Homo-oligomer: A and B are copies of this chain.
Amino acid sequence: MKIQNENKEIVELSHGGGGKRMDQLIGFISKKIGIRNSSEDLVGPEETDDSAVIKIRNTSNTLVLTTDSHTIDPVFFKGGNIGDLAVAGTINDLIVMGAKPLYLTLGMIIEEGFTFSDLGRIAETIGNLCKKTGVRIVAGDTKVMPRGMLSSIVLNTSGVGVLIREEPIKDSNAKPGDIIIVTGTIGDHGTSLLSLREGLQFDTELESDVTPLWPALEKIVRDPRIHSMKDMTRGGFASATNEIAVKSGVCLEINEEKIPMRPEAKAICEILGLEIMEISCEGRAIIIADPSAEQDIIQELRKHPETKDARIIGKVISEPKKKVLIKTEIGGKRILDKPFGEPIPRVC
């Protein structure tokens, strides 16, 4: 029942069927991830029972829950793979609400014929990121779809965290006078993926920014002067800022030249006629905070490689309500709309 030669072995339909072969598939994935029970588990993931049962210790009763599916094409890209995306995306959604991420569930939907070698690489990535962030995979599910019914692999990760501050950090809580911070360059993930797909070549190769922002943002998340926070995924900077502006009923006034961008990412967008502010990132957040927190936040962000390029890019004002206003270097102003859709499909 062991995988003999994982470079050549492929996933077959029977690996999804609830029998001995599925046990083999689950065993393979679990080993690569490094699944282990913890002392807080009454029923842990190693037991492959119907659910995990966990006695949470020393925490409050306020749960934070999220879910994300990942359909990226290609599955392996410069700077990561779909496993990075799944763990980082879900963890980041918990953090920006003010939560410490604790548990993930992992649903894998695999196309018949997918290699165990690629599956193993993805599972190892997931395991490494879990170790790095202290998050545990506590429940999982595998399905196999017939060849041609699914392109390669889709992951779903759901996340459970606990609130580590008095109030959650809500999209709707930005206030006039607040400062606006972005934790790093925008658009790297989408443009690096696009350059890979289109076969564009640049002197410096772009990499995806995909990364979990825990523990980098832990201290910041605990600061009550943080009013609003959002990771930028599909629809990028434009979607995230517009969500905050609309839900808070305020205007986000952004100085365009302050937004950190890689020249290669900018160039790709210019060549292809894309708006970089609409391109997805997978390891960047927007932070809206009381101005008194400015120095503390920037100093803290500079300490972590994931957020070292953080910059203040603007401020929250009252009018025009529910709008994102971009101020250009030469004094122009324009409204940045929420995009119609992500300009590049299947980036996450």
- Residues in chain A within 8 A of chain B (CB atoms): 13-23, 42-43, 47, 49-57, 59, 61-71, 73, 92-94, 96-99, 103, 105-109, 138-141, 143-146, 149-151, 154, 156, 158-161, 163, 167-168, 170-172, 230-231, 233-236, 239, 247, 278, 280, 338-343, 345-346
Contact = CB atoms under 8 A, between A and B. Distances in A.
A67 B19 contact: no
Contacts of A68: 107, 141
Given A67-B140, A67-B158, A105-B65, A342 B16 contact: yes
A245 to B, nearest CB: 14
Given A51-B66, A65-B160, 4 more contacts: A43-B170, A52-B66, A55-B62, A109-B156
Given A17-B234, A19-B235, A53 B340 contact: no
B56 A18 contact: no
Nearest to A112: B345
Q: Is the interface of A mostly helix, strand, loop or mixed?
A: mixed
Given A18-B339, A160-B63, A51 B93 contact: yes
Give me the 6 closest cross-chain CB pairs, A-B, nearest first: A18-B234, A17-B341, A18-B235, A17-B342, A14-B341, A158-B158
A330 to B, nearest CB: 28
A54 B62 contact: yes
B50 A97 contact: yes
Contact of A18 (B15, B20, B341): B341
Residue in A22, A51, A138, A239 whose Cβ sees the most chain B Cβ within 10 Å: A51
